[in-house]
Amino acid sequence: MEGLAGDGGAVATWVLDRIEDDRHAILVDGHGTQRVVPIGEIPAGAAEGDVLREVVIDEGASWIIDSEATERARQEVVELRRSLRRGPSGPISL
């Protein structure tokens, strides 16, 4: 999930898992690694489930929302839910 930005900066991809205490964003990468970031560092309007890219150039870093990757991930969840078999309907006898 890492690559290089066109300007030579490193790019890391994370998903915004949740916001805790209105102060911290909990991010998760593709390996399940969690990272805690102060809420003020992520883009305004970022929501749970958004794919964020951290671009690191020299000593600085910035976060951007990857809207296309976010939409792809959400569509995959919708398709997965559709593909899951549904159990029997009605009362269950034990």
Tell me if residue 87 falls in helix, strand or coil: coil
Domain boundaries in the chain? 2-83
pLDDT digits (tens, 9 = 90+) for 37-57: 999 999 999 999 999 999 888
Residue 58 in tokens: 């020299």
Rounded Cα distance between 51 and 79, Å, is: 18
Assign domain 2-83 one CATH number from 3.20.20.80, 3.40.50.10420, 2.40.50.140, 3.30.300.90.
2.40.50.140
Integer angstrom CA distances of residue 8 from 17, 51, 55: 28, 21, 10
Rounded Cα distance between 87 and 4, Å, is: 45
The pLDDT of residue 85 is: 73
DSSP letter for 79, please: H
CA dihedral of residues 66, 71, 74, 75 (deg, nearest 10): -150
Is 6 or 35 the better-scoring residue by pLDDT? 35
Confidence of residue 4 (pLDDT cuts 50, 70, 90): very low
